[in-house]
Structure 1
């Protein structure tokens, strides 16, 4: 079988990993990497033994699919250029800087039968998938994402940087749309929001609570789900899970607590492989452009709520 030809646009910290994942997939030939900074493109290309490109347009005609891991502000123009030239696109989250840009890309991809996938990597997190398996009739879904401050990513708010992961997970785990929300946030270091706490009422009655901060003393990612007869808690960074339910009624076991772990998996490799599989077998991506648009719309609504 002829291999698909792929490339990564934007090979900074995250894009470098994306390029490595392409190299690991037997169905793709990594044609090259491209970056706004020529020296960075040259360095990563040399490390991976592929060609370096300094202009993304030079890849047209040489690739079947690309991953865009450049700055958010460039997502729209880059994705549009490749889609208009018949190239399937996987773009890092958020899909674009604005909702109208995302709507245009989604409509164009659908009209022209092109795959547009969005890098909401938590959909491939084994802990999140394990929690999903245990859901029956969730009443409350609480998502917490705490990180230490880094200048990388600080050009956008904590909503676009971190909360967008949890918004997508809330849609994924609740299986519903947002009906209403209340929330607040603060700007401690940046010109943009650094913390946010929002409570959502979903249309199916589920209450969603999302707390994010990029000015915490340590890193933590967790999911807690309250159901009729149990509570499930997962540390999604370390893949430790806990289920609390009614015990057998004896004094020794009024409450039954079950703890377990799931195997760590390479979520970025799974994301890359899923995108390649969607192109190869003409399937919908696991996280579609429409999913990315929905998450971005919700983030913009949260931003309007908090900023007033």
Structure 2
């Protein structure tokens, strides 16, 4: 029997979640719910499922839910389902505050209910490649830049983009951030739109993260510097170039690598379903997501002290 899934919040991103659940071989999309019932009806009609007027109506009809609402609503919606022992995948950030994140983790644990967070970049093959090739790293630079769009602008660029990279860094190198320097600017929104962060990990490794939602074009890449090579990866196209040092002229060679592109959201959805079926262990815990949010909050606080 297929697991019954539903999505709460079917705006731009939520619709993709609903489509992936519907396409999964071991799950069945039974319905969608949205703050705008008209929107829920529209998406439900397109997907051939039920539109729920409110989340309370979904209890008894679902085996799991994806919460893809606005960040400010994450806690209220996820809390409701976890208290009713319905497994939840909530989009990142886990909640509006780390305090709420910790509370959701406590509720999930006390109710023995599966709970994870949609840090989708963990399923990006380009970052899996980085994790496999991290040995000997001396420096890492991650760039995640994009033009302004109103979608996602209800929170700062730190909550929207930087949180991806903070989670990735601690997952890839398996050690905490012990210090950081930060510069940021508010250009369009009252919250930070552009930021540059320099992290120091426990081992002393230095990492620079540049995030922006006010650049002319989309830029997604990283540069990993090692003792005898440099790996440059375009994380959007999955194309890598590795410069290897040689002892004779021309003193270096370039090796190109193509990583087959995969649907990261489909991988994320599948992983959660496999966990529900007892075939996998959660890759992303609520506690890990909360720690990333705690670091974001520290950065926001430091910027506010400076008046940035």
TM-score w.r.t. length of structure 2: 0.96
SS of 2:90's partner is strand
Does the aligned pair in 1 maintain the 2:175–2:202 contact within 8 Å?
A: yes
CA contact (8 A) 1:174 1:206 kept: no
Contact 1:182 1:305 in 2 (8 A): no
Q: CA–CA distance in 1 between the matches of 2:3 and 2:65? A: 10
Structure 2 residue matching 1:107: 3-state secondary structure: helix
Q: Separation in 1 of the partners of 2:122 and 2:14?
A: 19
Contact (CA 8 Å) 2:10, 2:34: kept in 1 or not? Answer: yes
Deviation of 1:166 after TM superposition, in Å, equals: 0.9
Q: Report 1:114-263 matches (<5 A).
A: 114-247=113-246, 249-251=247-249, 253-263=250-260
Shift of 1:109: 1.2
Q: CA RMSD in A?
A: 1.1
* Matched length: 305
- Aligned partners of 2:214 and 2:49: how far apart in 1? 38
Residue 148 of structure 1: how far off its partner (Å): 0.1
Q: Partners of 1:107 and 1:228 in 2: how far apart?
A: 43
Q: Would the aligned equivalents of 1:141 and 1:170 in 2 still touch at CA under 8 Å?
A: no
What is the SS of the residue equivalent to 1:148? coil
Corresponding position: 1:58 with 2:45: no
Deviates most, 283-292 or 168-177: 283-292
Deviations 1:34-57 (A, max 9, x none): 111011101110111101112011
Distance (whole Å) between structure 2 residues aligned to residue 110 and residue 227 of structure 1: 40
Structure 1 CA distance for aligned equivalents of residues 227 and 116 of structure 2: 35
1:91 and 2:96 matched: no
User: Which stretches in structure 1 are left out of the alignment for 5+ residues?
Assistant: none
Q: Which runs of 5+ in 2 are unaligned?
A: none
8 Å Cα contact 1:159-1:299 kept in structure 2: yes
Aligned partner of 1:295 among 287, 292, 296: 292
